[in-house]
Amino acid sequence: MLGTDVCTAGAAAGNDIVALPRDTLDITDAALVHAAVRRAAPHVVVNCAAWTDVDGAEASPQAALAVNGAGAANIARAAAACGAWTVHVSSDYVFDGAKREPYVESDPVGPLSQYGRSKLQGERLVAREAPELHTIVRSAWLFGLGGRCFPATILRLASEHDVLTVVDDQIGCPTFTAQLASALLELARDRVPGVVHAAAGGGCSWFAFARAIVERSGASCEVRAGSTAELGRPAPRPAYSVLATERATEVPALPDWRDGLARYMEAVVAAR
């Protein structure tokens, strides 16, 4: 999903893009990664590969670490070996959600889940393997046209059901991948070092996000508020993970999440 948008934005900006999908390059294979990066001889490597199954990571923590930790390290190491800059995408799930104001880059991390721990491990390994050649970009609640995402699921369920119950006790920043992709390329162009936060402006609950999706679609489905506890999901989620940046002069500002949703819905309608 994000990778597709990075390729689109990169090509539109006049960059030569080498895109390697999972069936072409397994990032957990260090030798393959080194060979692929050496062959491409890039100026920048943007790592959009990730284990994103939050609940699945609870049952398979080593598999999640192999992708989000060691896999990220393989990419950063290979990129650094040829002098390329690494842009690594991380997550709001590195925080515990106990805060009630937006998290900034200097806030202490404390992931609650195996997924969050694997993403934090990835951050640390990227920084170790490419100490002078990386940007680590924390973002949140990604949605876009190139893959499965929350709005697509809500649109499908709203067409099948009269009532949906969605949790209202998790607050975050729904971020449209097309907008994040452009920010990643700017960060790469400017070679902004270290950890930065790049997520949509504002914040909302999954319930508020779902209600906005249904309203924009014109569906007659009713959206009701529920609780995380009622779902009984294996992995704990941060209750509050809105991201902000204390590096505003270096990090491109993304639009409000409602703007991203409007663009997504326009694209969905146009594709019908």
**Residues catalogued as catalytic:** 115
Residue 244's nearest CA partner among 48, 88, 54, 95 is 95
Tokens 């729904």: give the residue. 174
Cβ–Cβ < 8 Å for 145, 267: yes
Cβ–Cβ < 8 Å for 91, 69: no
> CA 220: distance to chain centroid?
30
**CA distance linking residue 24 with residue 4, whole number of Å:** 15
For 271, other C-beta atoms within 10 Å of its C-beta total 7
In terms of C-beta density within 10 A (0-12 exposed, 13-18 middle, 19 or more buried), how is residue 131 classed? exposed
For 4, other C-beta atoms within 10 Å of its C-beta total 18
Q: Pairing mode, if any, of strands 204-205 and 171-172?
A: antiparallel
The secondary structure element, H or E, covering residue 178 is helix 177-190
The residues near 112 (Cβ < 8 Å, ≥ 6 apart) are 93, 96, 97, 235, 236, 237, 238
SS3 content of the chain, % helix, strand, coil (to 5): 45, 15, 40
